[in-house]
Structure 1
Amino acid sequence: MIEKIAIAETLDSITLRQAVKDTLKNYFTNIGGEQPVDFYSILLEEIERPLLEVLINHTHYNQVRMAHILGISRGTLRKKLKQYGMLD
């Protein structure tokens, strides 16, 4: 059973990694020769916001569980929620 879970997690990780890679390739192809500015911050926001939205639904806004899932402190989580206007 544990082996099956590990294999499923590995497959999900590979699928997610490939989806991110494909999306990034597509993005850079579409912008042509343009050089994005502060791309890392843009990328973080594009990933963090939907991730937090999904976790809010998954945990029923339980910040302790959300922080645990993300592997960050509750304080850091609250900072991110505030940053995106998601703090109750």
Structure 2
Amino acid sequence: MSKESIEDVVRKSLDKYFKDLGEQLPSNVYDMVVLTVEKPIFEAVMARADGNQSQAAEILGINRNTLRKKLQQHGLL
């Protein structure tokens, strides 16, 4: 049984999104995808770090202030 990569899932989702749009012109696709993907990343990493923001920031490779800002943005604090 082969698993789909995250890249494959995103690609298929975008293909479906564009197909569903039909003739409508897409806009702000980058921001839409980033915001959609960020939240589950932060949820998973925070769970992995048992809520420790310093450890989560280290896992993500970002500073703790950036992490806090993103957590607030996604309503995860």
Q: TM-score range by the shorter chain?
A: 0.7 to 0.9
The 3-state SS of whatever aligns with 1:42 is: helix
Q: Does 1:72 align with 2:62?
A: yes
Tell me the distance in 2 between the aligned counterparts of 1:65 and 1:54.
13
Aligned to 1:38: 28
Aligned to 1:29: 19
Higher helix share: 1
The unaligned stretches of length 5 or more in structure 2 are none
Return the index of the structure with the highest Cα Rg.
1
Deviation of the 1:48 alpha carbon: 0.6
The unaligned stretches of length 5 or more in structure 1 are 1-11
Tell me the distance in 2 between the aligned counterparts of 1:20 and 1:85.
23
Identical columns (%): 36
TM-score (norm. length: structure 2): 0.80
Deviates more, 1:74-83 or 1:64-73: 64-73
Higher relative contact order (CA 8 A, sep 6+): 2
What is the Cα-based RMSD across aligned positions, in Å?
Answer: 1.8
Tell me the distance in 2 between the aligned counterparts of 1:64 and 1:37.
35
Letter in 2 for 1:36: P
Q: Does 1:62 align with 2:52?
A: yes
The 3-state SS of whatever aligns with 1:37 is: coil
